[in-house]
């Protein structure tokens, strides 16, 4: 290997070593820029009076299901009208305590001499209070489904994923490390979902007693469910919708209802695929790491960045063999001994000797 080739190899190896560092720095810069832009947008919106609220109760039904994020703006000079959805803090009533000061998001049903009556879409009756314009925090301009659930679970999921990344960091091989992280992240998300229950949940909002008691129920999950009563009667509910489930005669306020996931066949197939993807990817990565060949020693493994002694010995051996073949004894012996053989033959062959003249006696 010539000096020029060695220098080129060293430069290429150095560029390859520097490339991951540059990629990481670029990602960090992009991430920081995006975070700063998001924070700047949030600060500007907050300065303009925009506020967000996480829906925790099913009182608004499908208009604002549980787990939605409602975005409000100050009413300003605009007059509130019947049908507007507003977020407000109800006035303090006698015996109301501090719980009554929590924000509510309901629809305006009547306005009489400045007194505003509100009601949840899923509630059977109007609210027990009337509010004024001063109690209104803002008028709802957007409802973002699922975003509320994401914001609730995000801190716990981020902490669990960070712990998985920390525990799998010492794994040297890339494929097993990726497989372990994939399985760990899936386990963390499964635990978070099991705790918060964002997909399948049911709330009993009331019970009508009588000869034929009925339970009023509301779905607080994201997926369609079937509310099943003790007698087997059921009602299918979508996210945020309300329904009624007949109860056995003599049932009091304590009822036991079951929420069962109710998906079409294609929905079940999609759910099974989504649940199986992390496991399948983890198994494939683990198998690929087992079948991967052992890494060979390359130019970057040697201190000088040159091939190993074994690699250098091969061209040298070949060159020695070529020199031995070229300077073998056979061609040399033939070229050297042929004249000698001929000379020996000329002195010993009678046919080539000159005639001997006998001396003449004096």
Please give the full DSSP string across 301-345, using - where no structure is assigned.
GSTTSS--HHHHHHHHHHHHHHHHHHT-HHHHHHHHHHHHHHHHH
Tens-level pLDDT at each residue, the chain (362 residues): 555 555 556 666 555 555 566 777 888 889 899 999 999 998 998 898 999 999 999 999 999 999 999 999 998 777 899 999 999 998 876 555 545 578 999 999 999 998 999 999 999 899 999 999 999 999 999 999 999 999 999 999 999 999 999 999 898 888 788 888 888 998 999 999 999 999 999 998 888 887 788 888 999 999 999 999 888 889 999 999 999 998 888 776 567 889 999 999 999 999 999 888 887 887 787 777 666 554 444 444 444 444 444 444 444 444 444 444 444 444 444 444 444 444 444 444 444 445 555 555 54
Assigned domain for 92 exists? yes
* Residue 361 pLDDT: 52
**How far is residue 134's CA from residue 109's CA, in Å, rounded to a whole number?**
17
The tally of domains found in the chain comes to 1
**How far is residue 141's CA from residue 78's CA, in Å, rounded to a whole number?**
13
Closest CA to 49 of 108, 145, 136: 136
Matching residue, tokens 């992009």: 30
Assigned domain for 210 exists? no
For the record, the structure tokens of 10 come out as 């060293």
pTM over 0.95: no
Assigned domain for 166 exists? no
* Residue 242 pLDDT: 92
* Residue 220 pLDDT: 94
**Does residue 138 contact residue 51 with C-beta atoms inside 8 Å?**
yes
Assigned domain for 68 exists? yes
Contacts of 129 by beta carbon, 8 Å cutoff, 6+ apart: 90, 91, 93
* Residue 289 pLDDT: 66
State the residue range of the domain holding 128.
51-145
Assigned domain for 169 exists? no
Assigned domain for 135 exists? yes
Assigned domain for 289 exists? no
* Residue 262 pLDDT: 94
* Residue 201 pLDDT: 92
* Residue 95 pLDDT: 52
**Does residue 88 contact residue 131 with C-beta atoms inside 8 Å?**
yes
* Residue 172 pLDDT: 85
**Does residue 131 contact residue 116 with C-beta atoms inside 8 Å?**
yes
What are the strands of the beta sheet with 69-73, ordered from one edge? Answer: 51-54, 69-73, 136-144, 85-88, 104-112, 115-119, 130-131
Assigned domain for 221 exists? no
> CATH code at 132?
2.10.109.10
**How far is residue 221's CA from residue 241's CA, in Å, rounded to a whole number?**
10
Contacts of 193 by beta carbon, 8 Å cutoff, 6+ apart: 153, 199
């Amino acid at each position: 290997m010539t000096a020029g080739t060695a220098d080129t190899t060293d430069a290429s190896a150095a560029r390859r070593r520097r490339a991951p560092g540059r990629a990481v720095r670029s990602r960090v810069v992009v991430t920081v820029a995006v975070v700063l832009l998001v924070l700047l947008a949030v600060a500007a919106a907050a300065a303009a009076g925009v506020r967000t609220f996480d829906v925790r109760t099913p009182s608004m039904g499908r208009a604002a299901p549980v787990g939605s994020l409602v975005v409000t703006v100050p009413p300003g000079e605009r007059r509130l009208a019947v049908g507007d959805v507003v977020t407000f803090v109800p006035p303090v009533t006698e015996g109301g305590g501090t719980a009554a000061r929590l924000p509510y998001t309901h629809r305006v049903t009547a306005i009489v001499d400045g007194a505003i009556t509100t009601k949840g879409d899923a509630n059977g009756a109007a609210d027990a209070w009337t509010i004024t314009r001063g109690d209104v925090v803002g008028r709802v301009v957007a409802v973002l489904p699922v975003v509320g659930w994401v914001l609730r679970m995000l801190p716990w999921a981020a902490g669990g994923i960070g712990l998985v990344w920390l525990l799998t960091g010492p794994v040297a091989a890339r494929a097993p490390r990726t497989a372990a992280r994939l399985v760990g992240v899936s386990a963390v998300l499964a635990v978070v979902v099991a705790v918060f229950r964002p997909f399948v949940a049911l709330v009993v909002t009331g019970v009508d007693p009588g000869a034929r008691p009925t339970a009023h129920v509301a779905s607080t999950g994201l997926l369609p469910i079937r509310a099943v009563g003790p007698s087997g009667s059921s009602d299918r509910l979508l996210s945020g919708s309300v329904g009624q489930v007949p109860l056995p005669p003599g049932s009091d306020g304590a009822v036991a209802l079951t929420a069962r996931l109710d998906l079409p066949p294609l929905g079940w197939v999609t759910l099974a695929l989504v649940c199986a993807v992390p496991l399948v990817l983890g198994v494939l990565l683990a198998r690929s790491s087992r079948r991967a060949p052992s890494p060979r020693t390359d130019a970057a493994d040697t201190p000088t960045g040159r091939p190993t002694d074994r690699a250098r010995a091969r061209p040298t051996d070949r060159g020695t063999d070529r020199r031995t073949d070229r300077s073998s004894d056979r061609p040399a012996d033939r070229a050297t001994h042929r004249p000698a053989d001929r000379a020996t033959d000329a002195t010993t062959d009678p046919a080539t000797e000159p005639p001997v003249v006998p001396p003449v006696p004096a």
